[in-house]
């Protein structure tokens, strides 16, 4: 899951013809295409089992007020996992071995 800086991505969107509010910009395929090379570059230094296979851009930034972060600004994994459970499950759809 990737959280983007709302101000920075909206500035990029204006300059690249991506219209709409933040939630529409992060769903746009051009935004996904912007992020993908960064993921690929990161994966170059990782073993296959460590690499990022799928990613999704969060529909809004993680914040302290929303309960996503601790007071020291660390991600509350359980809170984020619960909040975006459906999004996370799409990463693994069809990847479970049949028993």
- The one-digit pLDDT tens for each residue of the chain (99 residues) are 999 999 999 999 999 999 999 999 999 999 999 999 999 999 998 999 999 999 999 998 888 999 999 999 999 999 999 999 999 998 888 765 554
Burial 42-65 (b: 16+ CB within 10 A, else e): eeeeeeeeeeeeeebbbeebbeee
Q: Is the pTM of this model over 0.75?
A: yes
- Closest of 2, 1, 3, 14 to residue 63, by C-alpha: 3
């Amino acid at each position: 899951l990737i959280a983007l800086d709302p101000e920075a991505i909206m500035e990029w969107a204006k300059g690249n013809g991506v219209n709409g509010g933040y939630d529409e910009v992060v769903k746009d395929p051009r935004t996904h295409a912007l992020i993908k090379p960064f993921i690929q570059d990161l994966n170059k230094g990782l073993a296959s089992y460590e690499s990022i296979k799928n990613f999704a851009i969060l529909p809004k930034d993680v914040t302290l007020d929303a309960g996503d972060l601790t007071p020291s600004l660390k991600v509350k994994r359980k809170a984020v996992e619960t909040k975006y459970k459906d999004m996370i499950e799409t990463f693994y759809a069809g990847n479970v071995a049949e028993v």
